[in-house]
Amino acid sequence: MKAFAIDAYKGELSLRDVPDPVAGPGQVVVAIAAASVNPIDVKLREGEFKAILPHRMPFILGSDLAGTVVALGPGADRFRIGDEVFACPNKDRIGTFAERIAIDEADLALKPPSLTMAEAAALPLVALTAWQVLVERAKLGPGQKLLVHAGSGGVGTVAIQLAKHLGATVATTAGTDNIALVKSLGADVAIDYRKEDFSETLSGYDVVLNTLGPDVLEKSLKVLKPGGRLISISGPPDAAFARSIGANAIVRLLMRLLSFKIRRKAQKHDVDYSFLFMRANGAQLAEIAELVEDGVIRPIIDSMFGFAETPEAINRVASGRARGKVVIAVAETPPQIREIAAA
């Protein structure tokens, strides 16, 4: 099959022939119709997580997919050949910039019927991130106030919609050209970061979802009320994350040191700081699919690229100018369904 991969960190992403995947126990093979690009793809290409999430080369990038189940591995019984699915693979099995992938069936959910393959591929990673921050960790509910940074980005566009569904008051930051977009998604307060300082405008917030750099992270402490929560998906990672991935003692110590400054400042403000690294979860994705069908969440697509244009799609995300998601059409027509003998 064809796939886009790198041979070394910071290396060129190139198209090459790789062996067809084989479904192992509890896995299925999915013929990928569409994938989407996330900032994590840029960071992985640059080797930013190689100390804690090393990958064997050549390394196929990509963490979102929508496609069709074409093979079942031993013991896989949750899906059938021909099912249309969407997913974000487990961090150890990513590689959706490819024609096929073998994936744990626990990571999959049935594609929302109302969405095209391209639309469905735009959702898994960002929707799971928003869910795990707002529902699972923050337990956001009616009457609470949430600040979402970069509301026009992939995570931001979903987080605004989900937070409004949960009953929260939502503020967000965005550029001038994207203020109308975030308001259309339900933001109660939209701050143009080019004209206003959010830390001077907002106060008394229960939760901040940070997707940006250290300067914004530290300023976010000022808008939280005592007992509030600052949850960052852009770092720095903390010791709790290190424990969750089974990191060794040296890596755990390193992460404690990396997050020491922000944790100390958070403590002085009487707020909690934590880092979240999204994990694959098909059950949560199925709940998100229901919200899509109920009209609660809709994907926002910035642009579409053909499979051969995958490097250009990554560059679009790396530019920081994308609103919503950048999607790659891996297969222009529905994949041929064929049953492959289980290994």
**110: Cα separation from own chain's centroid:** 18
Q: Rounded to whole angstroms, how far apart are CA atoms 241 and 239? A: 5
- Mark whether 105 and 148 lie in a shared domain: no
To 5 degrees, how large is the angle CA 212–CA 249–CA 106?
65
- Mark whether 261 and 323 lie in a shared domain: no
Q: CA–CA distance from 113 to each of 118, 136, 243 (Å)?
A: 12, 26, 38
- Mark whether 245 and 143 lie in a shared domain: yes
pTM of this structure? 0.92
Report if residue 286 sits inside a domain. Answer: no
DSSP letter at 340 equals: B
Q: Rounded to whole angstroms, how far apart are CA atoms 289 and 131? A: 12
Give me 17's structure tokens.
């022939």
Domain hosting residue 55, numbered range: 2-123+299-329
Read off the CATH number of the domain in which 97 is found: 3.90.180.10
Give me 229's structure tokens.
């929560």
Read off the CATH number of the domain in which 142 is found: 3.40.50.720
Q: How large is the angle between the packed helices 124-131 and 154-165, nearest 10 degrees?
A: 50
Are the C-beta atoms of 291 and 165 separated by less than 8 Å? yes
- Mark whether 231 and 95 lie in a shared domain: no
Q: Rounded to whole angstroms, how far apart are CA atoms 319 and 304? A: 15
Report if residue 287 sits inside a domain. Answer: no
Q: What is the pLDDT along the chain (343 residues), one digit of tens a residue?
A: 999 999 988 888 999 999 999 999 999 999 999 999 999 999 888 877 766 677 788 999 999 999 999 999 999 999 999 999 999 999 878 899 999 999 999 999 999 999 999 999 999 999 999 999 999 999 999 999 999 999 999 999 999 999 999 999 999 999 999 999 999 999 999 999 999 999 999 999 999 999 998 889 999 999 999 999 999 998 778 777 777 767 777 777 777 777 788 889 988 999 999 999 999 999 999 999 999 999 999 999 999 999 999 999 999 999 988 999 999 999 854 343 333 322 2
Dihedrals phi, psi of 191, to nearest 5 degrees: -105, 120
Helix, strand, coil percent values for the chain (each to nearest 5): 35, 25, 40
Report if residue 210 sits inside a domain. Answer: yes
How many domains in the chain? Answer: 2
- Mark whether 18 and 105 lie in a shared domain: yes
Are the C-beta atoms of 331 and 65 separated by less than 8 Å? no
Are the C-beta atoms of 173 and 217 separated by less than 8 Å? no
To 5 degrees, how large is the angle CA 215–CA 220–CA 221?
110
- Mark whether 151 and 191 lie in a shared domain: yes
* Residue written as token pair 């626990």: 106
- The three-class DSSP label of residue 171 is strand
- Mark whether 97 and 215 lie in a shared domain: no
Helix H or strand E encompassing 112: none
CA-only gyration radius of the chain, Å: 20
Dihedrals phi, psi of 208, to nearest 5 degrees: -120, 130
